[in-house]
Amino acid sequence: MKCEAAQGQATGSVARVPLGRESSPSSDTAGQPGRPSPEAPSAGRLIINGDDWGRDQGTTDRTLECFLRGAVSSVSAMVFMEDSERAAAMARERRLDAGLHLNFTTQFSARNCSPKLIERQRELGKRLLRHRLSQLIFYPSLMKSFEYVVSSQIEEFCRLYGTPPARLDGHHHMHLCGNVLLGRLLPPDTIVRRNFSFGRGEKSWGNRFFRRTADYLLARRHRLTDFFFSLTPLEPPARLQRIFSLARCFVVEVETHPFRPEEYRFLAGGEIFRWAGDSPIAPRFVVRSQRNGQG
């Protein structure tokens, strides 16, 4: 009953599937960066993910500190950025679970990035950031550029981490843009970040319907968490209470950015453990199969 009550608090864009009814756990190799553990949660799971790993040294160092304190489960790694090489070496050394943080909108800053790739990414970023609804549009003329920028980042992740990414999301959530989603550019059977979860009344009916539709398309080819939230805003307290209560019964991912002072203090200072309570923070990113069809 507690699980049903908690689920009823956030039903805007989620799959209403109790964990006990999901299919078999992942068979990915344990301990490898970029690969989730085969361990399957028997109840809920609270995943605290640090975004922008490798973007720059400050971001990497703050995120690593939070991970070492047990406040971060996993990271989403940026490639072709100024600290990507060092961040990847640290993740492999410490067996830190890393997925790929696809980047279309922040200019690549690594020295080894080709001018062609920089130009193609700049072209996509300009189009995607033109209007707040631009990412929803499918651009046939840009399909080759999207394919090139996505495949280049996947190949670079393989080079840095020694394994293909088993989990993908996107900087500014652009992995959910029309060309990536409808073009099926993400490898099948990988874990992919879903849309933000909202309860009734938090967003319009049309907004929630669009999110549910996008998540349905994702779930046909990929594995998703049950719920996805950002750590901020930290107020009102009822918001955090709702998020952490859901983690008792469902797989919940919380997106964090430790380079932001407010989030860093909450994570590194230990406040998150008080809020998590009897929903311990997962040591890695684990999601069981939720495919609703064949891709």
pTM: 0.84
pLDDT value of residue 2: 55
pLDDT digits (tens, 9 = 90+) for 239-264: 999 999 999 999 999 999 999 999 99
pLDDT digits (tens, 9 = 90+) for 278-292: 889 999 998 865 544
pLDDT value of residue 289: 54
pLDDT digits (tens, 9 = 90+) for 208-242: 888 888 999 999 999 999 999 999 999 999 999 99
- CATH classification (class only), 2-276: alpha beta
The fraction of the chain above a pLDDT of 90, given in percent, is 74
Please indicate whether residue 93 or residue 205 has the higher confidence score (pLDDT). Answer: 93
**CB 77 within 8 Å of CB 161:** yes
Q: How confident is the model at residue 29 (pLDDT cuts 50, 70, 90)?
A: very low
Cα gap 170→177, rounded to integer Å: 10
pLDDT digits (tens, 9 = 90+) for 41-71: 446 899 999 999 999 999 999 999 999 999 9
User: Distance of CA 90 to CAs 47, 63, 87, 216, Å?
Assistant: 20, 12, 5, 35
The fraction of the chain above a pLDDT of 70, given in percent, is 82
pLDDT, average across residues 29-36 = 36
Q: Helical H runs in the chain?
A: 2-7, 57-68, 84-94, 115-128, 143-161, 178-182, 205-219, 237-246, 261-268, 271-276
